[in-house]
Amino acid sequence: MCGIIGYVGGKSAAPILLDGLEKLEYRGYDSAGIAVINSNELNVIKTAKRIADLKGITQNGSTTKGNIGIGHTRWATHGAPTETNAHPHISYGGNFAVVHNGIIENYLPLKNELILKGVNFKSETDTEVIAHLLEFNFKGDVFDCIKNTISVLSGSYALGILYLNSPDTLYAVKNFSPLIAGVGVTENFIASDITPLIPHTKDVIYLKDKEIAVITGDSLNIFDLSGKPKSPKIERITGSAESVEKGGYDHFMMKEIKEQPPVILKTATPHIKDGRVVFDGLNLTKEKIKDIKKIVITACGSAYHTGMVAKYVFEQLLKIPVSVDLASEFRYQNPVVDQNTLVIVISQSGETADTLAALNKAKDKGAYTLGIVNVKGSSIAKACHDTLFTGAGSEISVATTKAYSAQLIILYLFAVFMAGHLGTSDEKLRAALLNEIMTLPQKVQEIFMLEENIKALAKKHHTITDAFFIGRNLDYAVALEGALKLKEISYINCLGMAAGELKHGTISLIENGTFVLALAMYEKLNDKMLSNIKEVKARGANVLVVTFKGNNTFLGAADDIIYLPKTHPLLTPSLAVIPLQIFAYYIALFRGADIDKPRNLAKSVTVE
């Protein structure tokens, strides 16, 4: 994810900004920049290289004078990683500088409106729209200008703002993207997480959505949109440097669970343009797509489970046979793939040893390869004929959450992209899917409101020794991921399986008190799932059902029910997985497990 740092006080701003950007490097980035006000000049220095280069340009900040400034590390979404696209962005009149984390969903119509009004754009970013809107909306009062600007923005944002004629005031505002204010002595800060603040202050304020912070060296005032002052809670940071980086959460896993709404936006938005899916730079031509007779998806762990979801989505939209193979098996098979086969390899790190070996096997057989990874420059990204990158950013917890969600989004979009070229699905269906994808972040936020209920269910079941996650169709694919989450961080023996397979042996393991989690988001098969639930209940199981709001099918049959927002049937995995992640987290918490670093596991599996 991108990083933000801002400073105002009595010290030279540039060295503090550069040091802060270095501490944000772990989040991943491909360009960086700072803006500093000095003597009625707004000085902006940017690079499409590393922060070390930025420090070299400014001689560690010594050549850039001024006591107020903002800095940013960018992970490219809208536009290539170039110096022009790097932040900060400057308004057309030169009066405002902006750094931005998040995605502005409606930037294109806003941009077109500004172009019609004579505004010239220099970058490809959504952020430049914000800078120009600030200039356009300014009528003499910066607070009103910011308020009127954010009132027309849709999406997620954390903004640090400088106004040239207020050389002692830093402004900040957020919506869905994290932003923290650091409270110092005769100096104050903003940052996207705690890390860059630690050398300067242990007192912080976690800004709330659509609160506007007006910050000087001697004051830090926060207002709601009506201009009413707020009384924010100042929190004291304690603990190790690692705990500080968790942004107030006890574990990275929960922090990363909560980052999924902006991750979904960051992954989806750059590829949806004018109601179509566009993958800039993709070499896979329309002619090549029409030659594809078979799709093979290969991956490991959670990435394999996203491939299981993709199989159902692809076959419905593309009418092409799809198989999903574990990369650790595929690499040692003699797979039936050729030049008319598309092999999709999925890996968060892009370095997974088994997946890389499977990729090379597919290439040796003449298949066309597409990588879905989170890390640019990774081995898989370099080796594939084509690569699509997710927008998950840095993920620290070994148990993946947001990277899984980002992979799902890319797979949905790729299915719609392929279907558009093949003409194998209705245009209205494709449009409906794209529209619904953009509603997923808000629906995930709604699920977060159920956290206390899920926590209570975890407390109820945390002493179990065995668990079964069951589902049908897409719910089966999600059951596999839910079971993996539970077993890898709580060490509970847990099996994810197709509900229809219970009767072929597994039901012999169901006895009084056995925990069964039944996924029932796929409405067409609710009656079948009800039968499976009755089968396990008859043998004494304790059943927790996850289904959608308004579905009364399981009342009286299940012991507990979690109700989720409804979405398009093909997109239900993006919602169904969220309570399973939270449930696994709290089970592990109540069992005293090492949540972020479960025993025997590594984040990137680069060995066989």
How does pLDDT run across 147-203, given as a tens digit for each residue? 999 999 998 899 999 999 999 999 999 987 889 999 999 999 999 888 899 899 999
Count the neighbouring beta carbons within 10 Å of the beta carbon of residue 557. 16
**Per mean pLDDT, which range of 274-278, 355-359, 593-597, 604-608 is the poorest?**
604-608
Domain boundaries along the sequence of the chain: 3-246, 255-438, 445-590
**What is the Cα–Cα distance from 517 to 457, expressed in whole angstroms?**
11
Tokens for 150?
């954010």
CATH, domain range 3-246: 3.60.20.10
Read off the amino acid at residue 347. S
How does pLDDT run across 352-376, given as a tens digit for each residue? 889 999 999 999 999 999 999 988 7
Query: Is 2 one of the annotated active-site residues of the chain?
Result: yes
Q: Is 270 or 563 the better-scoring residue by pLDDT?
A: 563
Residue of 237, 232, 259, 263 lying closest to 248 (CA atoms): 237
Residue of 165, 109, 156, 102 lying closest to 133 (CA atoms): 109
Q: Which residues pair with 5 in a beta bridge?
A: 71, 191
How does pLDDT run across 524-571, given as a tens digit for each residue? 999 999 999 999 999 999 999 999 999 999 999 999 999 999 999 999
pLDDT, residue 464, reads 96
Residue of 134, 173, 238, 180 lying closest to 20 (CA atoms): 180
How does pLDDT run across 16-61, given as a tens digit for each residue? 999 999 888 766 678 999 999 998 899 999 999 889 999 999 999 9
Catalytic residue among 2, 145, 300, 494: 2
Could you tell me how many residues make up the chain?
608
**What is the Cα–Cα distance from 178 to 438, expressed in whole angstroms?**
20
Say whether pLDDT at 321 is over 60.
Answer: yes
Longest Cα–Cα distance of the chain, Å, equals: 79
pTM for the structure as a whole: 0.75
**What is the Cα–Cα distance from 9 to 64, expressed in whole angstroms?**
15
Same fold yes or no, 255-438 and 445-590: yes
The two beta strands, 386-389 and 493-498, are: unpaired
Query: Is 549 one of the annotated active-site residues of the chain?
Result: no
Hey, what CATH topology would domain 445-590 get?
A: Rossmann fold (3.40.50)
Hey, what CATH topology would domain 255-438 get?
A: Rossmann fold (3.40.50)
User: H or E element: which one contains 68?
Assistant: strand 68-74
DSSP state, residue 500: G
Catalytic residue among 65, 230, 294, 603: 603
Q: Is the peptide bond before 88 cis (omega within 30 degrees of 0)?
A: yes
CA 49 to chain centre: 24
